[in-house]
Amino acid sequence: MESLQNHFLIATPSMNDPLFRRSVTYICEHNEDGAMGLIINQPAELTVNSLLDKLEIVYPDSADSLKGPVYQGGPVGQERGFVIHPPQQNWRSSLKLSDEIMVTTSRDILEALGSSAAPLQFILTLGYAGWEAGQLEQELAENAWLAIPADPEIMFNTPINQRWEKATEQLGFDIWQLGPDVGHA
């Protein structure tokens, strides 16, 4: 099995699940036990600063980066937060997934948001998408998803409503030409 860690899963047009329709999911872990990812283009009806208020975390009022959305990372563990950002060494619970992307789950990064210690770019998600052993491979075989290497440009610099389109452009073909059936000519 080839790991899809540090890849994007792009929902194909045949994906009917409303949560995943036209989604781009960053895969944080993928091994023989299953997979875990964070949806990076489904904003929740919650801003970063309103979440910090709920958590009683003090932050600078002038920080524009905190006015952005929190994302619906997936349907599992929606009380758990994940911050995707460029690598930094100063957080208690982080996993470096590439030279350009790290995921942090500790409260200390939330307490630093809006300050000079915070990452310059970040995506804050609540919840994650999870797949049991073999489930993701089956969904890939059924044309529910396509995978490409993760692109920090799409993740951090592309407007939310354009991330799916930008990711599909990297496939090298028109995704709308993809048939919904597997193995049929």
Which amino acid is located at 76 in the chain? V
pLDDT bucket at 37, cuts 50 / 70 / 90: very high
CATH assignment at residue 66: 3.40.1740.10
Contact 38, 20 (CB under 8 A): no
Mean pLDDT over 12-23 rounds to: 90
pLDDT digits (tens, 9 = 90+) for 140-162: 999 899 999 999 999 999 999 99
Determine the structural domain holding residue 64 and report its residue range: 7-177
Report d(CA 82, CA 139) in Å as an integer: 24
pLDDT tens per residue, range 40-85? 999 999 999 999 999 999 888 777 889 999 999 999 999 999 999 9
State the pairing for strand pair 123-132/69-72.
Answer: parallel
Instruction: Say if CB 63 and CB 113 are below 8 A apart.
Output: yes
Q: Number of structural domains, the chain?
A: 1
Residue 184, pLDDT above cutoff 60: no
Residue 1 lies in a domain: no
Please check whether residue 128 lies inside any domain of the structure: yes
**Does the residue 115 lie in any domain?**
yes
SS3 43: strand
pLDDT of amino acid 182: 44
The model's confidence at residue 178, banded by pLDDT at 50, 70 and 90, is: low
pLDDT at res. 83: 97
Return d(Cα 159, Cα 167) in angstroms, integer.
12
Q: How is residue 78 written in tokens?
A: 């929606």
pLDDT of residue 130: 97
105 domain-assigned: yes
Q: Given this model, what pLDDT does residue 59 score?
A: 86
**Residue 182 is assigned to a structural domain of this protein:** no
Q: Measuring CA to CA, how many Å separate 17 from each of 21, 23, 66, 164?
A: 6, 10, 30, 16
Question: pTM to 2 decimals?
Answer: 0.91
Residue 184 forms part of a structural domain? no
- Please report whether residue 43 resides in a domain: yes
Q: Is residue 183 part of a domain?
A: no
